[in-house]
Amino acid sequence: MSLFSLDGRRALVTGANTGIGQAIAVSLAAQGANVTCAGRRDCDETLEKIHAAGGTGEGLRLDFADPMAAGDVFDGAGYSILVNNAGIIRRADSLEFSEADWDAVMDVNLKALFFTTQAFARACLTAGNTPASVVNIASLLSFQGGIRVPSYTASKHGVAGLTKILANEWAAKGINVNAIAPGYIATNNTEALREDADRNRAILERIPAGRWGEAEDIGGTAAFLCSRAAQYIHGAVLNVDGGWLAR
């Protein structure tokens, strides 16, 4: 079997209805995983792409406004891959930022990620379903401060930290925990930036690769981190940013 094959693995990808989450789900399925596409909205388009390519998957409604939403998803279900992609953002000057916006972002981006991963790891270890893989979606703002997104920045710094502590605790138990920090990716969320000629030019001038990333760039990286080829990678936060942080 190829080092990169995911044949026989069952995966759950959160926020899989569009963009980066969709690309990750399709990439995992292309390597042979049976992928559960989870989201607060239907993931029908993602499933169509998976099935059209000959892959297998199903949908699952999960809304991480309730951080414990996935608490009973994993027991006895045979999952050995979890990709924590679901996330939200709120924008306002730090002097004006509200408690409600702080709590909403931290609940989805950090609290839900931790308790979902905890439930996944408990189920894997109870069932002896290892090796297992966790991939968290971090951000360039796991390293940088950003502007007008205090809770998002704090949550993504937290994602990087959780990735490392969980790797420390679980690497010897057969669970790989790593993260991807996407750069500027051409998705619906960045459409306004790409249509702003000045911002688009400034961003491209900073990226050594000279282009916006594609969601598939993140999908391929996630599939690699879930494969046997990455079995000795633990606690890494891998920048997939076209060289942005190197500039």
Q: Give the SS3 label for residue 193.
A: helix
Q: Any catalytic annotation for residue 79?
A: no
The alpha helices in 129-149, defined as continuous H runs, are none
The helix (H) or strand (E) run that includes residue 195 is helix 191-195
| 150: preceding bond cis by omega (within 30 degrees) | no
Question: Which residue in 79, 152, 184, 232 is the catalytic one?
Answer: 152
Question: Do residues 206 and 11 lie in contact, with contact meaning Cβ atoms separated by under 8 Å?
Answer: no
Angstrom distance (rounded) from CA 136 to CA 190: 20
In our burial notation (b when 16+ CB lie closer than 10 A, e otherwise), range 185-203 reads bbbeebeeeeeeeeebeeb
3-state SS assignment for residue 110: helix
In total, the chain counts a number of residues equal to 247
From first CA to last CA, the distance across the chain in angstroms is: 39
Query: Which residues are identified as catalytic?
Result: 152
